[in-house]
Amino acid sequence: MRPVAAISGVLALLAVAVVVVATGLAQPARQAPLPPAPAPLPVPATPPPAAAAPAPRPVPPAVARPAPVAPTGPSRAIGRPWAGRLVNGVQLPEVTADWLTWDPVLKQIPNRPERRWGTAKLLRTLRAVLAGYHRAHPHALQVLIGDLSRPQGGIFDNRFGGLGHGSHQNGLDADVYYPRRDGRLRAANRPDQVERALAQDLVDRFVAAGAQFVFVGTRVGLRGPRRVVQVIPHHNDHMHVRILPPRGT
Ligand SMILES: [Zn+2]
């Protein structure tokens, strides 16, 4: 019986060992996660933005005279000035020999970059009129230009500060401030601060340049052809110039 018992004991030990080994083998198999499948390399749906995105629009330095941002195609005034947008707009430089830009909300020079975009035609008109004005009045100060349109046009109402604009949506509108009698480079607070002769000369030049409308204030006494020069409220410190759309838009 002893050998049998010994064999039985050995078998029992072997059985325990087998169970232990089996358990030991099974345990890690249950607990350890499956060997991780090699993760697929992320494939970007689009090229990396750093490589594809255009360089951020340069903000012109305060003193230098930056070149306007070159459009990628002809400027297009889409829709109407009061319900439209601007494609391939051009940024009005914040300062040149002929003008400074005026922020009508912060009431300071220069105007913010995102408030001075227009069609190339609008910028050509401003350049030509203000260059002619300074040839005629070499001692006159730079003229203040206020808001044009936003970079892609669209709504420019009081959510963007101040009274906002009902129009100025498609790159055809520009606010031009009347020169002041005291020579200060800021918007006139009262009509009697406006140098009327110089302001009238500016109105005449925009009319001669083919402006569709020049809106002027009720108390500044500025005149012109009735179909173009129109008197409306809220324009006693600036004229609002609207040009016709560029050909093809
Ligand atoms: Zn305006």
**DSSP-derived secondary structure for 55-72:** PPPPPPPSSS-PPPPPPS
Q: Chain-wide mean pLDDT for the chain?
A: 82
Q: In angstroms, rounded to a whole number, what is the distance separating the alpha carbons of residues 239 and 202?
A: 9
pLDDT of res. 177:
98
Task: Report how far ligand 1's centroid is from the alpha carbon of 133 (Å).
Answer: 20
Task: Report how far ligand 1's centroid is from the alpha carbon of 147 (Å).
Answer: 7
Extract the tokens encoding 66. 């930056």
pLDDT band at 27 (very low <50, low <70, confident <90, very high): very low
Task: Report how far ligand 1's centroid is from the alpha carbon of 137 (Å).
Answer: 25
Mean per-residue pLDDT for 144-171?
97
Tens of pLDDT, residue by residue over 179-198, are 999 999 999 999 999 999 99
pLDDT of res. 73:
87
The secondary structure element, H or E, covering residue 22 is: helix 2-31
Q: Report which of residues 28 and 121 the model is more confident about.
A: 121
- DSSP-based helix, strand, coil % in the chain, nearest 5: 30, 20, 50
Task: Report how far ligand 1's centroid is from the alpha carbon of 148 (Å).
Answer: 8
Task: Report how far ligand 1's centroid is from the alpha carbon of 241 (Å).
Answer: 7
Task: Report how far ligand 1's centroid is from the alpha carbon of 146 (Å).
Answer: 8
Please calculate the CA angle 169-87-96 and round it to the nearest 5 degrees.
Answer: 75
Give percent of the chain above pLDDT 70.
71
Tens of pLDDT, residue by residue over 203-246, are 999 999 999 999 999 999 999 999 999 999 999 999 999 999 99
Q: In angstroms, rounded to a whole number, what is the distance separating the alpha carbons of residues 26 and 29?
A: 5
Give percent of the chain above pLDDT 90.
69
Task: Report how far ligand 1's centroid is from the alpha carbon of 2 (Å).
Answer: 115
Mean per-residue pLDDT for 119-136?
98
pLDDT of res. 65:
52
Task: Report how far ligand 1's centroid is from the alpha carbon of 171 (Å).
Answer: 11
Task: Determine contact, residues 114/145, Cβ cutoff 8 Å.
Answer: no
pLDDT of res. 21:
39
Task: Report how far ligand 1's centroid is from the alpha carbon of 165 (Å).
Answer: 6
Task: Report how far ligand 1's centroid is from the alpha carbon of 61 (Å).
Answer: 25
pLDDT of res. 71:
55
pLDDT of res. 174:
98
pLDDT of res. 46:
45
Task: Report how far ligand 1's centroid is from the alpha carbon of 228 (Å).
Answer: 15
Q: Characterize the bridge pairing of strands 173-177 and 117-118.
A: unpaired
In the chain, DSSP assigns E strands to 76-80, 83-87, 90-91, 99-101, 117-118, 143-145, 173-177, 213-216, 229-231, 238-242
Residue 215 backbone phi and psi in degrees, to 5: -90, 130
pLDDT of res. 68:
53
Q: In angstroms, rounded to a whole number, what is the distance separating the alpha carbons of residues 27 and 241?
A: 83
pLDDT band at 247 (very low <50, low <70, confident <90, very high): confident
Task: Report how far ligand 1's centroid is from the alpha carbon of 45 (Å).
Answer: 43
Task: Report how far ligand 1's centroid is from the alpha carbon of 79 (Å).
Answer: 17
- Statement: residue 200 has pLDDT above 50: yes
- Statement: residue 44 has pLDDT above 90: no
pLDDT band at 14 (very low <50, low <70, confident <90, very high): very low
- Statement: residue 58 has pLDDT above 60: no
Task: Report how far ligand 1's centroid is from the alpha carbon of 178 (Å).
Answer: 13
Task: Report how far ligand 1's centroid is from the alpha carbon of 239 (Å).
Answer: 7
pLDDT of res. 248:
74
Mean per-residue pLDDT for 163-177?
97
Tens of pLDDT, residue by residue over 60-109, are 444 555 555 555 789 999 999 999 999 999 999 999 999 999 999 999 99
Task: Determine contact, residues 180/194, Cβ cutoff 8 Å.
Answer: yes
Residues linked to residue 117 through DSSP beta bridges, in sequence order: 91, 149
